[in-house]
Amino acid sequence: MSIKRPLLLAGLLLLVLGGGFLIGFATRPGIWYAALNKPSFTPPGWVFPLAWAVLYVLIAIAGYRTILNEQRRTVQVWCFQLALNFLWPIVFFGAQNIALGFIVIMLLLAAILTFMSMARDGWARLLFVPYAAWVVFAAVLNGAIFKTN
């Protein structure tokens, strides 16, 4: 195994985990989010960083496998979903725009599903299953918050 592969994996873990948590820290929910009407199925706040930590690791590993095993277009879709992933908290929490946040999260879900349909690497697809499920849940939550506010 060449030294490039471990460095690639480490770099992707740093990019995805670091980027996700940096954006999460910069766009913490705060008073605005606390004052919103939220549905009864809203998890406690501590669940989100734990869930995202696991998901970001899975996303990074899927990205690693994608870069090693996939065609350029599939890598581009992986990059696009990550950009949308990072954009959502900026729009929803940072700009406090629930409606636009819903649009972004629906685009994110479409990008995740597109990636899963394009990826030839079965592990990369499988690693995205919990991510897709969580984003479906987050989209339902975002939609419910939009509807009640």
Q: pLDDT tens for residues 35-93? A: 999 999 999 999 999 999 999 999 999 999 999 997 899 999 999 999 999 999 999 99
Q: What is the CATH number of the domain that holds 24?
A: 1.20.1260.100
Domain span including residue 55 = 4-148
Q: Are 19 and 85 in contact (CB under 8 A)?
A: no
pLDDT of 144 above 60: yes
Q: What does pLDDT average to over the chain?
A: 95
pLDDT of residue 70: 77
pLDDT of residue 103: 98
- Alpha-carbon distance of 70 to 48, in angstroms, equals 30
Residue 84 neighbours by CB under 8 Å, 6+ apart: 104, 107, 108, 111
Q: C-alpha 120: how far from its chain's center? A: 21
Q: Long-range contact list for 107-114, CB < 8 A, 24+ apart?
A: 108/81, 108/84, 108/135, 109/135, 109/136, 109/139, 111/77, 111/80, 111/81, 111/84, 112/81, 114/77, 114/81
- Alpha-carbon distance of 32 to 11, in angstroms, equals 34
Total structural domains in the chain?
1
